[in-house]
């Protein structure tokens, strides 16, 4: 194993070949590996010759530059882009490491949803594919009266959901599935991130088999992807 993460080789007819437009990357929980998964998916799309960029809609616990965007670029193997310098890929940055509604309150300024939406639209005009990484999970409050899932529903973005083989993942994934169904949001794919697997192989294998089966039943059109467990640079998965 090298220090690179890798998606296993998949059939060429997989859904990444047909990807176009804006996708919202969410996770079943915080620290599930969304950032690495977003970076790896972008890298894979680049390798297919696609024009792709990642955006972090709201970054908390940072100043000036979004840490997660720096991780994306490193994984993608490209330098900081012009869109990054313009702030389009990191429209809202708050210094306090907390949920956006709390981080905004503690920083003493409101989160600007229009600014986020406009930045995403500008990226979508420049790139074939935009992967928008959210903060935490689907029910994380963006403002006092708007949840992440409300925003995703309003924008009609398909969701790429990141899960893992750690204890509790089945419950969190099924809760996320139920929420997506309730809000009428389409699930593009489920990424099973082995980086955060339980040390108990029985749990990992059962979670994988169970979730794969549930995905087929609940979202038959969605793609199943796995992110290999390789020696990982801890810093890049810490804030994912």
Paired tokens of 84: 């990054």
Question: Helix (H) and strand (E) counts for the chain?
Answer: 9, 10
142, containing H or E segment:
strand 141-143
Catalytic residues: 56
Pair type for strands 92-94 and 223-227? unpaired
Determine contact, residues 26/62, Cβ cutoff 8 Å.
no
Pair type for strands 141-143 and 146-147? antiparallel
Length of the chain counted residue by residue: 240
């Amino acid at each position: 194993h090298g220090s690179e993460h890798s998606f296993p080789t998949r059939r060429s007819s997989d859904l990444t070949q047909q990807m176009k437009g804006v996708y919202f990357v969410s996770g079943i929980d915080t620290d599930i590996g969304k950032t690495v998964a977003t970076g790896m998916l972008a890298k894979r799309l680049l390798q297919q010759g696609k024009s792709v960029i990642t955006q972090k809609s709201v970054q908390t616990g940072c100043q000036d530059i979004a840490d997660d965007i720096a991780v994306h670029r490193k994984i993608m193997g490209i330098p900081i882009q012009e869109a990054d310098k313009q702030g389009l890929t990191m429209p809202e940055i708050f210094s306090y490491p907390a949920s956006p509604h709390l981080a905004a309150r503690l920083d003493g300024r409101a989160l600007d949803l229009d600014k986020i939406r406009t930045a995403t639209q500008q990226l979508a005009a420049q790139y074939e594919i935009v992967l928008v990484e959210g903060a935490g999970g689907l029910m994380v409050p963006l403002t006092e009266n708007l949840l992440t899932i409300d925003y995703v529903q309003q924008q009609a973005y398909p969701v790429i959901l990141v899960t893992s083989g750690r204890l509790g993942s089945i419950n969190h994934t099924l809760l996320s599935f139920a929420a997506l169904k309730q809000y009428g949001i389409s699930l593009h794919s489920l990424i099973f991130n082995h980086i955060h697997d339980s040390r108990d192989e029985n749990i990992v294998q059962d979670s994988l088999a169970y979730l794969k089966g549930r995905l087929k039943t609940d979202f038959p059109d969605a793609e199943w992807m796995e992110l290999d467990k390789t020696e990982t640079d801890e810093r890049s998965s810490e804030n994912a």
